[in-house]
Amino acid sequence: MKFRTVTIFILFLFLKTDQLTAQNNTGPYMRIARIVVDSTQLGSYKAALKEGITAAVKMEPGVLSLSAVYEKEHPTHVTVFEIYADENAYRYHIQTAHFLKYKHTVEHMVKSLELVDVSPIAIEAKH
């Protein structure tokens, strides 16, 4: 639990607190992706994930933040924190060429994927 608290805090350090309002169709859309990666493919997976995140943040105005971390004791367990301007920005994101390239590249590397929609409780950040 301590790991998740720390990683969530790190993610939100990069956000403007005034961008975060109640979760709805017009406010920020947030989700967490919990991924377990095949240990023999971990290096390739990390490279593909980094490439996809970098492209999305640079090219999509609706992507507010994408952060990926792995558990130190279980390096094949990856968590991605995703924040989009709204749900439409997320829907756009999953249709982009760079996202589809990522999905195609890693489909044989991912052992499990859990997507969880989340809402903020309290967020503070230093700018």
What range defines the domain where residue 65 resides? 2-118
pLDDT for 17: 40
Does residue 105 fall inside a structural domain?
A: yes
The closest alpha carbon to 83, from 46, 56, 102, belongs to: 56
The closest alpha carbon to 25, from 88, 74, 67, belongs to: 88
Does residue 123 fall inside a structural domain?
A: no
Does residue 9 fall inside a structural domain?
A: yes
Does residue 125 fall inside a structural domain?
A: no
Higher pLDDT, 62 or 5: 62
- The tens digit of pLDDT for each residue in 37-82 reads 999 999 999 999 999 999 999 999 999 999 999 999 999 999 999 9
Q: How far apart are CA 106 and CA 111, in angstroms?
A: 10
Does residue 55 fall inside a structural domain?
A: yes
